[in-house]
Amino acid sequence: MNKDFKEYSICTDAQAMLKKARVEGIETVWDRLLEQQPHCGFCELGLSCRNCIMGPCRIDPFGSGPQRGVCGADADVIVARNLGRMVASGAAAHSDHGRDLVETLHAIGEGKTDDYVITDPEKLKRVAEEVGVNIGGKDDAAIAKALAERFFADFGCMNGTLSFIDRVPEKRREVWAKFGITPRGIDREVVEMMHRTHMGVDNDAVNLCLHSARVSLGDGWGGSMIATEVSDIVFGTPTPRVSKVNLGVLKEDYVNILVHGHSPIVSEMVCAAVQDPDLLQKAKDAGAAGINLAGLCCTGSELLMRKGIPMAGNHLMTELALITGAVEVIIVDYQCIMPSLVAVAACYHSKIVTTSDKAKFTGATHVEFSVDNARAKAREVVEMAIEAYKNRNPARVDIPVEPVELMSGFSNEAVLAALGGTAQPLIDAIVAGKVRGVVGIVGCNNPKLKHDYVTYNMAKECIKRDILVLVTGCAAISTGKQGLLMPAAAEEAGSGLKEVCNALGIPPVLHVGSCVDNARIIHLCGLLAKALGVDISDLPVAAAAPEWYSEKAVSIGMYAVANGIYTVLGLAPPILGSKLVTGLALNGLEDVVGATFAVEADPIKAAELVDERIKTKRKALNLTP
Amino acid sequence: MQHKTVIVRPELCVGCMQCAIRCAQAHSATKELATAVFEPVLAKPRIHIGVGVNPQGVLKPFPNKCRHCDPAPCQEACMPGAIRSDIAEGSKVVDPALCIGCGMCAMACPYYAIRYHHDLHAPERTITAIKCDNCHDRQKKGQIPACVEACKTGALEFGYVNEHIKKGAGRLANAAWSMQS
Amino acid sequence: MRYVVVGLHAAGRSACQWLRRADPACEIVGVDPSAGSLYARPLISYVLDGELPEHALVKDSAPFFENLGVQLKRAAAVGLDANRKRLILDSGEELAYDKLLAATGSAPRRVRLEGDGADHVCYFRGQADLARILAHVKSGGVAAVLGGGLVGFKLTHGLVARGMKVKLMVTSPRPLALNVDEYVGSWAGARFKEMDGVHLMTSTSVVRADVHGQGLRLTLDDGSTEDVDLVVAGKGVVPRFAWLAEAGPETDQGLLVDNRLMTSVEDVYAAGDAVQASDIVHERPLLNAIWPNAVEQGRVAALNMAAKGPAQGPAYAGSIAMNAIPIFGTHMVSVGMVNPRYTEGCEFITTTCHRGSYLNIVIRDGVIVGAVGLSAVPRLGELAHAVRTRMKVSRIPARWLKNPRNAAPLAGNTPWYKGSRVGA
Ligand SMILES: Cc1cc2nc3c(=O)[nH]c(=O)nc-3n(C[C@H](O)[C@H](O)[C@H](O)COP(=O)(O)OP(=O)(O)OC[C@H]3O[C@@H](n4cnc5c(N)ncnc54)[C@H](O)[C@@H]3O)c2cc1C
Ligand code: SF4
Ligand code: SF4
C-alpha cells in the first residue's frame, strides 16, 4: 500500500498532504476517482441520454446493440444534445456569476448599498461610453445604474445583441453571421439550448453544434466579459503586483481564512474584514498572532489580481488545504467547490461557510450575504474563524512547504500600460518574431491527469519556443507554484521572449485573471486583430485547457474555437461516440470558424501542436515562422 | 484442476452494460475506448445483458456469458475444431482462424452465449463465432477479466466456484455451470 | 486394458480422446483405412463453395493420435469374432480387444437409376467425393443435384459458386421437406428461385442416366430429359455396420444400443452415424446422423467402456436432430421435431423480430419438442436445450418471445422465471 503520491501531483505540498490524508484516513478526490473507475463507457463517449423517460437510452458504440434511442435519436444527435447541454451549463455558470456583479453595480447605482462602491470610476465611464450609455452630466451612481441596466438587457434579448459586440473584429462577425451563430442574448441562447435538446426539437447534430457555438459566444463576449469588466469597475482594475502561492501561505500561528469559489463579491468583503483592528484584537485574544487570508481557485485569483492576497492552491488543492489542519474557515461562493469539503472539514476543527442561497452545502454553515449586509456578514464569518481557531489541534497542523513568489495582476489595461499605452510594441515584437505568438493556457485540474503536470510543462515548453503564455484560473496557479509567474522565469524562455520580458520587467507567463477573465484574452485578441486589420483566426495565437474538468471549460473551449482560436484539450470531451461530432470538432470546424479542437495529454506534444498552428498563421501573415 | 472463472450473481445486476462495453474494448485492437470505437472492424462484446422477468413481472437485467462448460457442447458440435481448450487452460476459446461460421456451436450452447459477427481477428470472413474467452490475454498480464473489473455491484466476480459455494452464496445462479453429461 | 476403436472420424476421435482422459494407462488401437488424414467431412462443402481453401481441409493425423497415444491401423474391419474377442481386418490381421467401439459412420444412400450413366453419379461424403466432383466441375456447365435436403442445398450453393448452372431436383413438393417447417422451406425455395443459375425442380425424380457425349442425359419421371455435365446425389445416408453382422448385433436401420451405448454384443459399443439411438423427442430409436451426436456418443461410449467394475459411465440421454446452415446471408436452423409430417396436432408459437429473424417453436402436450428459425441460431441453442430437457413451454416468459434478441437465456434456474407464463 506504499502509494507513491508523486504519481498524483508534481507539487510537494500536495504529495505531503496526500500522505497525511492517508495516515489520517481521510478520503480525497483521488480515492474517489479510483472507486469510480472504470467510468461508464457510454457516458465517456457521450452516448447515454436521460432527456426523457421513454429512456434512459444508450447507443452501443460497437454496433451489436441498439443504434437509436427509444425516440429514434442516433449517436450523432445524442452526442450533440449532450454536448449542447454541457455548453449551456458552463455558459450559464459564467453568466449567472456575471449577473450577480451587474446586480451589485445596480445596487450601487440605486444607492442600495453602502458596502460596495465604485473603485474604478474611470473604467466605469470608459465602458459606459463604449457600450453607448450616455454619461453626459451624470454622476458615477447614475452611470452605474444606467450601465447595469444596459447589461441586464444583454441577459434577455432586449438589445437583440450583446453590448460588447463591437469589440469583435468585423471579419469575425461576418463569419458568425454566415453560420447564424451571432449571439442574441446571454440567457436566451442558454434557454434555447435547453429547448432544442428537449426530445423532438433540434435533431440535426450539426445544427445543434452550431448553436453550442452561439451559446458559448454569449458567454465569452457576454456573461464572462460583463463579469470581468464590472468586477474591475466595482473592485478595481488589476495592476501588476507580487504575492505568494502554495500551502505555505497558510501561517501556523495565525487564524487562517480561505476564500473559495469564483466571485469577488463576498471575498472582497472578507478581505476588508480581516483588516479590522477589533477583529485583529479578538484574534490575538484567542492566542493567534493575527488573521491570515488566502485564496483558492478563482475567487482566490480575483483577490490575488486586485489585492495581492496570497493563493493557497487550485482545484485539486482545496481538500488538501484543509488537511494541513491549519484552516479555520473556508468561505465559499459558488462553482467548483467539491461537496466533499464539508466531510474533510469535519475531520478537523475547520468550518465551511456558504454564502449564497444558490449554493448551499449540507453540513456547512450558511451565512447569507447580500448587498446590504455584506460587510457585517463578513465580520461575522471572521469571528466564527477566530472561535474555530480556539478548537484547532496544533498536533495535527502540518504546513508542508515554504511559499513561492508570483507576480499577478495583468489586466489588459495593465498589459497595455506596461507596453507604454498601446498594443503596438507587442505587435512589433510579434512581427519581429521575438514573441512568435501567444497562447492562453487556461482551465482546471483533473485527477485523471497528474496534478499541475500537464499545464506547467506545457507552459514551460511554450515559453521555450518564444510563445508568450497567458494564464487564468487554476492553470495560473499550476504555473505560479513552479515559479513561472515571476520575471526571473524569463531565463527559461527562448531568447526572443526573454529579451522582451527583461525589457518590460514582466514574466514570460502572465496571470490575467480568473476563468471569467478569459474574456480579457479574447478581448485582447480582438484588439490585436483590429489593429492588424485581420480576423482573430489569422492571428498567431492558440488556446489550451490541459487539465480541464468542468462544463464551464467546455463553454470556454467552444467560444475560443468559435472565435477562431485553435484549442488543445488535455482530455477528450464526451463526444467520441459520434463520428460526425468528433470529426467536426477535430477537422470540420476549420472550414466553419477557422479553428478546431485537438486532444493531447502530453504537454510537449500539446506545445508542439500550438507551435505548428502559430507557424502556419505566421507564414500566412508573411512573418518568419 | 479448478480454474478461476467469472461468477455471475444476476440478482446484483443493475443493467448498466458496463461489462459489455469494457469487454468489447478489451477485445479491440487498440484496447482504448476512445480509439476502439473508431476501428474499421468493431470489436464485439462477449457478455450480454439479457432481459429477464421476475415473478412480479418486473424486468430484470441478466448478465449472460459463456460458462466454459466441461465437456462443452459447443466444442462437441464444432466441426473444424475451432473451439479449443488448449489456448487457455480451463477456457473454451474460439480460434477465429479455424471458425467457418457454420452456426453449429450456437445450436449446441444452451445459454445464448455465442454470437456471430464480422470479427477483427478474422476480417476475411463475413462472420465468426464470438464468445467469452475468459480474457485469457488479460489474465496472462495479471489482470482480471474486463467485465469483472467493470462491474460496480458485485454481479460479476472472479474466483473459484467451489469457494463461492463455500461462501454460502448458494446461488451459483447461472454462474459457472457445467452441462451435465 | 485394450480398447479398439473402429472408425476414426467424429465419433471415433472423440472416443479416443475420452478413453485417454478416463484411463491414462490403457492401450488404444484405432482402426480406419483413412486414418492418415484428419479432417471434418462437413467442411468439404465449404471447400466446394470456396469459403475454405482446399489445402486447409485435411491435416496429417499423426500428431493428433500420437498425442493421445493411439496406435493406428490403416485397415478396414471386415469381421468380428465376438466369442474370441477378435476384430478381423482386411489385411487378414486379427486384433484382440477387451472393449470395442464401432464408429464406422454411414455411407451415402445410392440412387438407383437405369442406364449406362448410373455409375457416373457422384456423392458428397468425403474428400475423395470432393475431388471427384471438382474434377467434373466446369464453369458455365450444368450440374444436376438430386435431393433437396441439407446436403443438396450445400451442393447447389457450392456448384453455383463454382460457376455452374444447377438443376436442383427434389422429389417432394418443396425443398428441405424433412428439415424445416413450411415457412422456412418456402423461404429457402423462393431464395433459390431468385438465385441466378439455379433451377429448382420440385416433385421431380430422375429415373435414368445415359452417357451422352462428355456428359450425361438424365430422364425424369415425366419422361422429359436434361443434359448435364455432372450429377451429384445427396439423398441421405445409410449406417455402415455390415462388417460386424457376423457377431449378430441387434439392428434396425442402424446399430441398436442400450443407454450406455453398448450393442447387444457384450463389450461392443457403438457411436456416431452407424448407430440408431433413441431419439429424445420421438422416444424411439431413430437415425440422427449429425456431428454433435457423433461426438457426444463417442464421449459417452468411451466413458462407459472405461468404467471399472460395477461403476458405470454416464447414461446416454438420447439423440436429437439439429442443424444450422449458413445460407443466403443468414442461418437456417432447426432442432428436434419440425418435420410437418410429425408435427400434426402440435401447437406452435411463432415470433418474428424487426431485424428479420423468424422463430417457430413446436409444442406437444405443453412441452417444447422442436424449433425452426431463420437468423436465430443462438436462440436455437437454448431451444435445443429446452427440447433435450423436455422443458415446459410455460417456462418461456412472454418477454422472451416478444424480443428473443435480448431476452435472458431460458436455461438454468434463473429465479425470476418461476411463475412467469407465456402470454401472462
Ligand atoms: C457434406 C456434409 C455436410 C455435413 N454437414 C453437417 C452439419 O452441418 N452438421 C452436422 O451436425 N453434421 C453434418 N454432416 C454429418 C456429419 O459429418 C456426420 O454426422 C459425422 O461425420 C458422423 O461421424 P461418424 O464418426 O459417426 O462417422 P463418419 O464421419 O462417417 O466416419 C466413419 C469413419 O469410419 C471409417 N470406416 C468406415 N468403414 C470402416 C471399416 N469397415 N473399418 C474401419 N473403418 C471404417 C471411415 O473411413 C470413417 O473415417 C455432414 C456430412 C456431410 C457429408
Ligand atoms: S430523448 Fe430519446 S434518446 Fe433520450 S432518453 Fe428519451 S427516448 Fe431515449
Ligand atoms: S456456455 Fe455455451 S459457449 Fe460456453 S462452453 Fe458452454 S456451450 Fe460453449
Give the closest residue (by CA) to ligand 3 atom 8.
B74
Task: Kindly give, in sequence order, each residue whose CB lies less than 8 Å from that of residue B58, ignoring residues fewer than 6 positions away.
Answer: none
**pLDDT at site A3:** 59
CATH 3.30.70.20 residue ranges for chain B: 1-65+132-181, 67-131
- Check B33 against A44: CB less than 8 A apart: yes
- Give the three-state DSSP class for A230: helix
**From the CB of A70, is ligand 2 less than 6 Å away?**
yes
Give the domain ranges of chain A. Answer: 39-66, 75-235, 241-396, 409-620
Is the pLDDT score of C201 beyond 80? yes
d(CA A569, CA A585): 11
pLDDT recorded at residue C185: 85
What CATH number should be reported for the domain whose range is A75-235?
1.20.1270.30
Cβ proximity of C201 and C167 under 8 Å: yes
> Contact at 8 Å (CB) between B4 and B159?
yes
**Count of C-beta atoms within a 10 Å radius of residue B57:** 13
Residues B74-98: what's their mean pLDDT? 94
Residue C176 pLDDT: 82
pLDDT-based confidence at C400, cuts 50/70/90?
confident
Mutate to test the pocket of ligand 2, among A49, A195, A197 (most ligand atoms within 8 A of CB): A49
- The residue ranges of DSSP E strands in A279-397, in sequence order, are 291-296, 311-313, 329-332, 351-354, 365-366
ipTM of the complex: 0.88
Whether the domain at A75-235 and the domain at A409-620 fall into the same CATH topology: no
Minimum distance, in Å, between the CA of residue A283 and any CA atom of chain B = 49
**pLDDT digit string, tens, across residues C154-179:** 999 999 999 999 999 999 888 887 78
Residue-wise pLDDT for C335-394, tens only, equals 999 888 888 899 999 887 766 688 899 999 999 999 998 887 778 888 998 999 899 998
Q: Which domains does chain C possess? A: 2-107+237-305 (3.50.50.60), 118-233 (3.50.50.60), 322-402 (3.30.390.30)
Site from C64, C331, C403 to mutate, B interface, most B CB atoms within 10 angstroms: C331
User: From ligand 1's centre to the CA of C389, what distance in Å?
Assistant: 27
* Residue located nearest, by CA, to atom 6 of ligand 3: B69
Tell me: pLDDT of B179 over 90.
no
B172 burial level (CB within 10 Å; 0-12, 13-18, 19+): middle
User: How far, in Å, CA of A117 to CA of A406, rounded?
Assistant: 29
Asked whether the beta carbons of residue C331 and residue B103 sit closer than 8 angstroms, the reply is: yes
Q: Which backbone phi and psi does A236 adopt, to 5 degrees?
A: 105, 140
Average pLDDT over chain C, rounded to an integer: 90
Which residue, C293, C250, C286, is CA-closest to C268? C250
Which among B16, B19, B33, B59 is the top mutation candidate for probing chain A, defined by the most A β-carbons within 10 Å of its own β-carbon? B33
From the CA of C29, the nearest ligand is: 1
Q: What is the CATH number assigned to the segment(s) A409-620? A: 3.40.50.2030
Contact A235, A263 (CB under 8 A): no
- Residues lining ligand 3, Cβ inside 6 A: B 66-69, 72-74, 92, 108-109, 111, 113-114, 131
Which residues in chain B are contacts of A40 at CB distance < 8 A?
Answer: 16, 18
Q: Residue A573 C-alpha to ligand 2 middle, in angstroms?
A: 21
Say how far residue B17 (Cα) sits from the centre of its chain.
13
Asked if residue C375 lies in contact with residue C387, where contact means CB atoms within 8 angstroms, the answer is no
Smallest-distance ligand from the CA of B6? 3
Nearest-neighbour CA in chain A from B89: distance (Å):
28
Task: Determine contact: B118 vs chain C, CB below 8 A.
Answer: no
pLDDT at position B60 over 90: no
- How many contiguous H segments (helices) and E segments (strands) does chain A have? 26, 16
Q: CA A330, A332, A337, A342 torsion: positive or negative?
A: positive
Nearest CA to ligand 1 atom 35: C7
The domain defined by A241-396 folds into Rossmann fold (3.40.50)
Chain A residues touching B148 at Cβ < 8 A: none
Return the CATH number of the domain spanning residue range B1-65+132-181: 3.30.70.20
Please indicate whether residue A56, judged by its CB atom, sits closer than 6 Å to ligand 2. Answer: yes
Query: Any idea which of A26-30, A459-463, B108-112, C191-195 has the lowest mean pLDDT?
Result: C191-195
pLDDT digits (tens, 9 = 90+) for C93-121: 999 999 999 999 999 999 999 999 999 99
Q: Which one is predicted more confidently, A197 or C56?
A: A197
Please tell me the pTM assigned to this model: 0.85
C291-306 helix and C10-22 helix, angle to the nearest 10 degrees:
30
Ligand closest to the CA atom of residue C39: 1
Distance CA C389, CA A25 (A): 55
Task: Decide if B44 contacts B27 (C-beta within 8 A).
Answer: yes
Please tell me the number of the ligand nearest to residue C37's CA. Answer: 1
Q: Is the dihedral of CA C294, C295, C300, C303 positive or negative?
A: positive
- Give the CATH number of domain B67-131; options: 3.30.70.20, 3.20.20.150, 3.40.50.1000, 3.40.50.720: 3.30.70.20
* pLDDT 10s digits, A69-97: 999 999 999 999 999 999 999 999 999 99
Model pLDDT, residue B167: 62
Q: Does C384 sit within 8 Å of B112, measured CB to CB?
A: no
Tell whether the torsion through CA atoms of B100, B101, B102 and B106 is positive or negative. positive
Q: Does A44 touch chain B (CB under 8 A)?
A: yes
Burial class (CB in 10 A: 0-12, 13-18, 19+), B137: middle
Query: Dihedral through CA C159, CA C161, CA C164, CA C168, nearest 10?
Result: 50
User: Tens digits of per-residue pLDDT, A313-327?
Assistant: 999 999 999 999 999
CB proximity list for A554: less than 8 A, separation 6 or greater: A83, A86, A87, A90, A548, A573
Looking at chain C, the whole-number percentage of residues with pLDDT higher than 70 is 96
Q: What is the CA angle B108-B114-B115, rounded to 5?
A: 125
* Cell output for C158: 457450392
Interface test with B, best of A33, A62, A582 (most B CBs within 10 A): A62
Q: Which residues form ligand 1's pocket by a CB distance below 6 Å?
A: B 102, 104; C 6-12, 31-34, 41-42, 44-45, 76-77, 103-106, 124-125, 151, 154, 240, 243, 272-273, 289-292, 294, 323
Chain B residues in contact with C20 (beta carbon < 8 A): none
**In this structure, what C-alpha cell is assigned to residue B49?**
445483458
The whole-number average pLDDT for the span C36-63 is 92
| CB atoms B43 and A62 under 8 Å | yes
- Segment B16-40 mean pLDDT: 95
CA A517 – CA A225 distance, rounded (Å): 7
Whether B151 has a pLDDT exceeding 50, the answer reads: yes
- A58 → closest Cβ in B17, B42, B44: B17
Is residue A564 within 8 Å of residue A172, measured between CB atoms?
A: yes
C211–chain B nearest CA distance, Å:
37
Distance from first CA to last CA of chain B, Å, rounded? 18
Q: pLDDT digits over A110-127, tens only?
A: 999 999 999 999 999 999
> Which chains lie within 8 Å of chain A at 3 or more CB pairs, if any?
B
Is B170's Cβ below 8 Å from some Cβ in C? no
Contact check, Cβ <8 Å, B103/C420: no
> Which of C107, C71, C111, C73 shows the shortest CA–CA distance to C90?
C73
State mean pLDDT over C142-152: 93
Percent of chain B with pLDDT over 70: 89
- pLDDT on residue A516: 96
Whether pLDDT at B144 is above 90: yes
Residues of chain A with pLDDT under 70: 1-3
